[in-house]
Amino acid sequence: MSDFDYDLFVIGAGSGGVRASRIAASHGARVAVAEEYRVGGTCVIRGCVPKKLLVYGAHFAEDLHDARKFGWDVPECSFNWDVLRDNVLAEVDRLEGLYGQTLGNHKVEVFKTRATIAGPQKVRLADGTELTAERILVATGGWPHVPEFPGSEHAITSNEVFHLETLPKRVVIAGGGYIANEFAGIFNEFGSKVTIVNRGDTILRGYDEQIRDRLLQISMTKGIEFKFNAPFQSITKNDDGTLTVMLEGCDPIQADAVLVAAGRTPNTKGIGLEDVGVELDEHGAIKVDETNQSSVPSIYAVGDVTNRIQLTPVAIREGQAFADSVFGGKPTVVDYKNVPSAVFSHPPIGAVGMTEAEARNKLGSIRVYTSDFRAMKNVLAGRNERALYKMIVNAATDQVVGLHMIGPDAPEILQAAAIAVKAGLTKADFDATVALHPSMAEELVLLK
Ligand code: NDP
């Protein structure tokens, strides 16, 4: 029996922290986890899960409209935000309960309080209790970054957006990344007037240019407005509760809500990390090596707090690798190559591997195949919305090094196709696969 209260103390019960806690416990470690807010973290409580449910809810707007072309007599429908919001929040409560149960089943002790680091092997709970642990894992995630400008306190972030009392008639969204494009689609489908305001001239930096352009075109056709190179100057709250948004070089915009989606900052402030010598990078993220160990040997970190790839499945992999390596005798290093990603915009995007521009820079000689088509369902519905699939191939080896897709169900299709890219399969391997007809995914094996 060690002299420590625990073998592992985890700070933060989000995706990475929960996975690390339960796997370490299943390897026989005595584990405690502290969570100051709600078990489940960003993804479950105020991120991926409730967002995806809103995306489903939003899509009914188009489905109900298109259903008429498929013979359904759909009466005039109206949308009730309160019903969807409350159902989504109830589902979040249910999942939070399940996460808590999982920890309990694995005999992980949960402290529903804030914990800070009081020493390399000591944590302090909010009530002053000090506990020792042979190892500490910091999995505190990230927090929405709100740039400073006058009136920024009138804006909401992705933390608050799921709790809106009423559906705003006019929404201004600051930022051009994941959250901005996903919520632009959601609010637009619900009937709100949406304006995306971006400091630069590019949405979804990091995604393939043609795919980004396609989303921009479709979003504009659906009625979403974009303002580029328009940094925020101020937000003023008017007497009637509405907001006036001032932007550089643009006319003022009147809005009922302003959502700031300008990236997320690692949650490292006020946890005591610097006091014990844990090194942070210039963005405030914990610097870790490939084994997730910080500059203090007893302190590890996984997930968004390390700012490697801010995606839930990556945090989960890191938590699993940490627990298996340190407590399971199975040294595991996370492979960050070919991590698939998706934007749940309307329509959604899925991508894995190199963009065309990256591949040209890195490989020189490449072949690019595209399929620009209207999904069968959209044709019958009279919806003039084209999907675009793009495959990037290394000309020297025939290996598929990137797949980029926008269109209905693109993330669902991409997840399966990502296995082939990860496995290093070639264009000839894709071509050798018989098409599954009629489907959208068959385009991937018919690219010419
Ligand atoms: P993103 O990093 O996707 O986008 C941030 C946007 O804000 C960019 O357009 C960026 O512009 C802009 N921006 C950054 N700093 C400022 C500033 N100071 N003033 C004005 N604009 C600024 O962040 P999100 O907030 O949308 O999402 C946070 C993270 O959460 C994502 O990076 C992603 O990892 C994760 N996420 C993943 C989802 C998914 O997997 N589907 C869904 C939602 C979130 P510029 O391009 O010029 O830097």
Residue showing tokens 């405690």: 32
Q: Coil, strand or helix: which one is 85? A: helix
Q: Which two tokens stand for residue 156?
A: 């909401």
Which of 43, 149, 178 maximizes ligand 1 atoms within 8 Å of its Cβ, making it the mutation to test the pocket? 178
389 strand-pairing partners: 371, 405
Distance CA 423, CA 353 (A): 12
Is the Cβ–Cβ distance between 186 and 193 less than 8 Å? no
Q: Give the number of other CB atoms < 10 A from CB of residue 271.
A: 21
User: In angstroms, how far is the first alpha carbon of the chain from the final one?
Assistant: 64
Q: How far is the CA of 314 from the centre of ligand 1 (A)?
A: 17
Which of 162, 186, 264 maximizes ligand 1 atoms within 8 Å of its Cβ, making it the mutation to test the pocket? 264
Is the Cβ–Cβ distance between 389 and 371 less than 8 Å? yes
Q: Coil, strand or helix: which one is 206? A: coil
pTM for this structure? 0.97
Q: Which two tokens stand for residue 28?
A: 């026989």
Beta carbons within 8 Å of 408's beta carbon, 6+ residues apart: 347, 348, 375, 377, 378, 387, 440
Is the Cβ–Cβ distance between 204 and 404 less than 8 Å? no
Average pLDDT score over residue span 328-355: 98
Q: How far is the CA of 278 from the centre of ligand 1 (A)?
A: 26
Residue showing tokens 């005595």: 30
Is the Cβ–Cβ distance between 156 and 261 less than 8 Å? no
Helices then strands, each counted (H, E), the chain: 11, 21
Question: Considering the domain 6-144+265-327 in this protein, what is its CATH number?
Answer: 3.50.50.60
- CA 75-77-78 angle, 5° bins: 160
pLDDT digits (tens, 9 = 90+) for 121-160: 999 999 999 999 999 999 999 999 999 999 999 999 999 9
293 strand-pairing partners: 300
pLDDT digits (tens, 9 = 90+) for 48-98: 999 999 999 999 999 999 999 999 999 999 999 999 999 999 999 999 999
The set of protein residues with a Cβ atom below 6 angstroms from ligand 1 is: 147, 175-180, 182, 198-200, 202, 205, 261-264, 310-311, 341-344
Q: Which atom of ligand 1 is nearest to the CA of 180?
A: 26
Domain boundaries, the chain: 6-144+265-327, 152-262, 347-445
Fold match flag (6-144+265-327 vs 152-262): yes
Which of 179, 212, 259, 312 maximizes ligand 1 atoms within 8 Å of its Cβ, making it the mutation to test the pocket? 179
Q: Which atom of ligand 1 is nearest to the CA of 262?
A: 7
Nearest CA to ligand 1 atom 24: 263
**How would you class 91 by CB atoms within 10 Å of its CB: exposed for 0-12, middle for 13-18, buried for 19 or more?**
middle
Q: How far is the CA of 75 from the centre of ligand 1 (A)?
A: 39
Q: Coil, strand or helix: which one is 429? A: helix
Go through 15-41 and write b for each residue having 16 or more CB atoms within 10 A of its CB, e for each that does not.
bbbbbbbbbbbbbebbbbbbbeebbbb
Q: How far is the CA of 144 from the centre of ligand 1 (A)?
A: 9
Decide if pLDDT at 311 tops 70.
yes
Is the Cβ–Cβ distance between 141 and 47 less than 8 Å? no
Q: What percent of the chain has pLDDT above 90?
A: 99
Q: How far is the CA of 232 from the centre of ligand 1 (A)?
A: 15
User: pLDDT at position 176, please?
Assistant: 98
- Specify the CATH class of 347-445 in words: alpha beta
- CA 41-190-223 angle, 5° bins: 115
Q: Which two tokens stand for residue 410?
A: 């693109």
Nearest CA to ligand 1 atom 13: 262
Decide if pLDDT at 2 tops 90.
no
Is the Cβ–Cβ distance between 151 and 175 less than 8 Å? no
Strand-pair category, 6-11 with 170-174: unpaired
Decide if pLDDT at 397 tops 70.
yes
Q: Which residues are catalytic?
A: 437
- Specify the CATH class of 152-262 in words: alpha beta
Query: Alpha carbon of 198 to those of 229, 236, 249: distances in Å?
Result: 6, 19, 12
Average pLDDT score over residue span 243-252: 94
User: pLDDT at position 1, please?
Assistant: 65
DSSP of 94-107, one letter per residue? HHHHHHHHHHHHTT
Q: Which atom of ligand 1 is nearest to the CA of 176?
A: 9
